[in-house]
């Protein structure tokens, strides 16, 4: 506390200096008068008494200095002097100050922008009550840990009854429904949740309320809760929406609340309903089906319970369920894991954002090295000034503090400008982060980000200023000890030159590392763009059309809609082919899976081979440009009543039948009747329909008329720009059913481009930062060579006067500059190899140690560096020997 009080008193004294000085003068005059009176009383004359009084006090100025030091503001005052002196020097050198501030602004601004994203996505707590206790549960097969099986309703009930580590579990899944009662029919994504979902998360409505247990009872009036984004987008934030009755699934649903703007996982829902209102989840068959898995489960840990304890608890429950219901679980059972919700929300974004943060920190390091080189060059012209200050009594520590103050001031000015750079970059970075996570709402330039910026600026100032300041102060101290003043040539030129060369080599090494990372991701994106996705996206338009379950409950009703839709679609002018499919490639939606019985093989239900499940009409493979490898695709004759048929993807056919001919073999879907066998009529090329960088897992396709789907998309292959078909296709749907909305409309080329957007943007950012690093490095390297030429002007002139060839001079200067480049390339290559695993997860089809990339980057660096060194090297060959000799 005494230290704090002294610090406060020192700051107060700095701002009340005049009053304190006046008080000090008055106090000293009082003591002098009292001492003089005492001397007079002893018989001294007035003049002699005053002299003795001053001698006893030890002199006025030393006494004042001692008093000032005791008050504690002397150091602050000295620092203020350093700051004022630094600003005066910078005003006299605006070119130097502007170059340094601009360079630091770019480096610090990039760090500020990326850190604001990292803080908003990875570091901020979730906006829920005690978010650290929230987890997401996953259920995996032991041999397929990447496949989340989800949970069934009986699974969830058993977890609730048997666990000892959780205070609550909440159920969740998401579906698309058609909403009526607003301006136009809308297709809305709806979160279907248990009544305790929002209480488990710890979220309260900002308008109205969330669900209560009564809302989830069988037969309860259906109710809805709006998400904040949907409320703003479709209802303009109108509070009058509360209590409105809207039609969904042929039932009236009352709006009871609006949520705050919180991140959503795993889907970005428009609104929410309790499980009792879902026409699929609420059926007795679903509630009783232990193998009917696919639902997500969120949990909240009890106070005092740890994550390892919870995982052990879940493992115990899992083994007990396997023992009680062996027929409902695969051999070995499932493995249940609990993952913190924050980890789950940021899993996709974390590696990319941390890599970008490391990248911009390296860019800032290069900027600091370049600034250090600029400061070394500037110090070479300040030898007289620094030597004079040393001669007048300034110690090495005092000089070091002055030089570091100048460096930190430049960095703080760069940080002020860098905040503007960060603000300019932020909108684009938010859009970039939104492709990886729903946590973009918390990204902002807040107080913590600004504190980070100041800390980075001070760190950058100290980093870029310490080496030059130490070099200068040491050189001057050595010169003064030897009886000199430092000379006009600047302090420690030889040591300074070596340090500048080392800094240039470090810049090259870091630039090599960044350029290799950018080059690898660039090659990866080229590979990804060129990958054969198994379909032809050119001139195909997709319109998502999910039928209203309430109006299309029966299969004949759905078939009638599909027949009318495809008949009218084929008749549209400019349409080369048309089809309806439950999914289209890269639509951004999940995929359903199904277990498959193979005729002649007796496999328990829980151990059935799994496959992706697709439903499609005739001409679907022609419309999507999918190659048929064997047999045939669907035809108009594959109708209801005809023998059930199926088409297999290549990978699935190989997995099920190996080298055997799959044509004519029969399969049954796990939920079909035992007599409903489907004959394999064709095998198609595998389609990368989930992501371009994921291997196709194989899918089974069934005929639309034999398995009429509720949800899917109309696919139109156009003879011209497919966007021209949008309006007429919407009208076509409206003519068939005015109550039927059309959801997302996009071309397959747009869908493919969107699938590449995230890796493309990552590559763009890495390339931009690497290019910035290269530019700064080249400037610094050119400066090092130019400084060497100036320092060696006399030597070069003498050598030329003695007959040295200009080509030899040019080669010597280039060799000096490229020596640092060669060393930097070697060090950078070693660092890149050591850090290969970091960038490996961002690559597709390219090894992280790709020799072609390393070679191209090395050649690029050497070529650009040679060009940078060539200008000052050529200047060296123009030195006039007569002028150099005259200066001796």
Predicted confidence (pLDDT) per residue in 473-525, tens digit? 665 555 555 554 444 444 445 556 677 778 888 888 999 999 999 999 999 99
* 341 backbone φψ class: left, alpha, beta (φ>0; ψ -120 to 50): alpha
Q: Can you tell me the distance from the alpha carbon of 662 to that of 646, in angstroms, rounded to the nearest whole number?
A: 11
Q: Measuring CA to CA, how many Å separate 252 from each of 176, 224, 247, 741?
A: 17, 10, 5, 18
Give φ, ψ of 248 to 5 degrees: -150, 135
Place of tokens 């050598």: 799
Residue 873 has pLDDT above 90, yes or no: no
Q: Where are the strands (E) in 7-148, listed by range?
A: 134-141, 144-148
Of 684, 692, 698, 598, nearest in space to 633 by CA? 684
DSSP state of 120: I
- Model-level pTM? 0.79
pLDDT band at 5 (very low <50, low <70, confident <90, very high): low
What backbone torsions phi and psi does residue 575 show, to the nearest 5 degrees?
-90, 120
Ordered by start, the domain boundaries in the chain are 2-72, 150-333, 349-530+754-886, 546-742
Backbone angles phi, psi at 829, to 5 degrees: -65, -40
Q: Is 700 helix (H, G, I), strand (E, B) or coil?
A: strand
Whether 404 and 469 have beta carbons less than 8 Å apart is answered as: yes
Select the more confidently predicted residue: 622 or 844.
622
pLDDT band at residue 840 under the 50/70/90 scheme: confident
- Kindly report, residue by residue over 11-60, the tens digit of the pLDDT: 454 445 666 666 666 666 766 777 677 777 777 777 777 777 666 665 55
**CA 854 – CA 522 distance, rounded (Å):** 13
pLDDT of residue 463: 85
% residues pLDDT > 90 (the chain): 44
C-alpha 616/C-alpha 689 separation (Å) is 14
- Residue 266: asked if its preceding bond is cis (omega within 30°), the reply is yes
* Range in 63-77, 192-206, 662-676, 784-798 with the lowest mean pLDDT: 63-77
Confirm if 336 and 314 have CB atoms less than 8 A apart: yes
Q: Is 162 helix (H, G, I), strand (E, B) or coil?
A: helix
Q: Higher-confidence residue: 75 or 117?
A: 117
């Amino acid at each position: 506390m005494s230290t704090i009080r002294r610090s406060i008193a020192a700051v107060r004294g700095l701002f009340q200096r005049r009053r304190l000085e006046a008080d000090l003068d008055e106090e000293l005059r009082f003591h002098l008068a009292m001492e003089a009176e005492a001397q007079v009383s002893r018989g001294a004359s007035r003049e002699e008494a005053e002299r003795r009084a001053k001698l006893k006090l030890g002199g006025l100025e030393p006494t004042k200095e001692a008093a000032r030091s005791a008050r504690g503001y002397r150091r602050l005052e000295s620092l203020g002097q350093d700051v004022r002196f630094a600003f005066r020097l910078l005003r006299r050198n605006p070119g130097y100050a502007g170059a340094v501030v601009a360079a630091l602004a770019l480096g610090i601004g990039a760090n500020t922008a990326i850190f604001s994203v990292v803080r908003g996505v990875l570091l901020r707590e979730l906006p829920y009550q005690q978010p650290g206790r929230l987890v997401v549960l996953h259920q995996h097969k032991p041999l397929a840990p990447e496949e989340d099986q989800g949970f069934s309703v009986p699974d969830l009930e058993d977890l609730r009854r048997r666990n000892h580590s959780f205070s609550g579990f909440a159920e969740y899944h998401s579906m698309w429904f058609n909403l009526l009662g607003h301006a136009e029919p809308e297709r809305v994504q709806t979160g279907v949740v248990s009544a305790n979902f929002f209480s488990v998360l710890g979220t309260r409505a900002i308008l109205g309320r969330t669900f209560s247990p009564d809302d989830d009872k069988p037969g309860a009036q259906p109710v809805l809760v709006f998400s904040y984004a949907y409320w703003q987008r479709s209802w303009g934030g109108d509070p009058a929406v509360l209590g409105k009755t809207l039609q969904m699934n042929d039932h009236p649903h009352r709006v009871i609340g609006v949520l705050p703007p919180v991140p959503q996982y795993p889907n970005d829902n428009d609104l929410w309903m309790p499980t009792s209102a879902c026409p699929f989840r609420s059926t007795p068959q679903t509630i009783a089906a232990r193998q009917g898995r696919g639902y997500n489960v969120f949990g909240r840990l009890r106070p005092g319970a740890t994550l390892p304890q919870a995982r052990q608890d879940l493992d115990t429950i899992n083994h007990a369920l396997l023992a009680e219901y062996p027929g409902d679980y695969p051999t070995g059972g499932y493995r249940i894991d609990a993952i913190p919700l924050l980890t789950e929300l940021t899993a996709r974004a974390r590696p990319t954002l941390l890599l970008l943060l490391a990248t911009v920190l390296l860019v800032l390091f290069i900027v600091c090295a370049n600034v250090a080189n600029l400061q070394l060059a500037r110090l070479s012209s300040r030898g007289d000034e620094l030597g004079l200050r040393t001669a007048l009594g300034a110690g090495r520590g005092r000089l070091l503090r002055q030089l570091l103050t100048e460096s930190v001031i430049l960095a703080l000015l760069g940080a002020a400008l860098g905040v503007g750079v960060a603000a300019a970059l932020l909108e684009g970075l938010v859009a970039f982060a939104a492709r990886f996570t729903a946590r973009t709402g918390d990204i902002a330039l807040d107080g913590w980000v600004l504190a980070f910026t100041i800390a980075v600026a001070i760190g950058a100032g100290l980093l870029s200023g310490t080496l030059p300041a130490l070099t200068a102060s040491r050189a001057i101290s050595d010169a003064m000890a030897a009886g000199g003043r430092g000379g006009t040539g600047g302090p420690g030129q030889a040591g300074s030159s070596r340090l500048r060369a080392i800094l240039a080599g470090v810049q090259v090494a870091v630039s090599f590392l960044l350029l290799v990372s950018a080059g690898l991701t660039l090659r990866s994106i080229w590979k990804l763009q060129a990958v054969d996705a198994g379909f032809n996206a050119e001139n195909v338009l997709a319109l998502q059309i999910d039928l209203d379950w309430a109006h299309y409950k029966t299969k004949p009703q759905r078939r009638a809609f599909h027949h009318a839709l495809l008949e009218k679609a084929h008749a549209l002018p400019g349409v080369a082919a048309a089809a309806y499919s439950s999914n289209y490639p890269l639509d951004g939606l999940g995929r359903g899976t199904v277990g498959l019985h193979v005729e002649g093989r007796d496999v328990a239900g829980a151990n059935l081979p799994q496959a992706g499940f697709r439903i499609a009409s005739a001409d679907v493979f022609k419309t999507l440009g999918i190659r048929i490898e064997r047999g045939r695709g669907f035809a108009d004759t594959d109708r209801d009543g005809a023998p059930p048929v199926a088409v297999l993807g290549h990978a699935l056919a190989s997995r099920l039948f190996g080298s055997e001919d799959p044509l004519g073999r029969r399969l049954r879907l796990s939920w079909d009747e035992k007599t409903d066998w489907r004959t394999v009529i064709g095998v198609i090329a595998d389609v990368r329909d989930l992501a371009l960088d994921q291997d196709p897992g194989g899918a089974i396709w069934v005929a639309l008329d034999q398995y009429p789907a509720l949800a899917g998309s109309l696919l139109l292959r156009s003879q011209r720009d497919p966007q021209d078909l949008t309006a007429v296709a919407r009208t076509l749907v409206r003519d068939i059913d005015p109550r039927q909305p059309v959801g997302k409309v996009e071309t397959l080329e747009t869908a493919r481009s969107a699938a590449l957007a995230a890796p493309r943007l990552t590559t763009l950012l890495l390339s931009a930062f690497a290019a910035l690093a290269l530019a700064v490095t080249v400037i610094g390297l050119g400066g090092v060579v130019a400084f060497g030429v100036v320092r060696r002007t006399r030597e070069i002139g003498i050598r030329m006067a003695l007959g040295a060839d200009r080509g030899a001079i040019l080669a010597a200067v280039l060799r000096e500059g490229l020596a640092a480049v060669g060393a930097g390339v070697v060090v950078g290559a070693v660092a890149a190899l050591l850090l290969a695993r970091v960038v490996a997860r961002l690559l597709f089809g390219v090894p992280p140690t790709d020799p072609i990339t390393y070679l191209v980057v090395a050649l690029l660096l050497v070529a650009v560096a040679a060009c940078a060194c060539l200008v000052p090297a050529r200047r060296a060959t123009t030195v006039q020997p007569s002028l150099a000799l005259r200066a001796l």
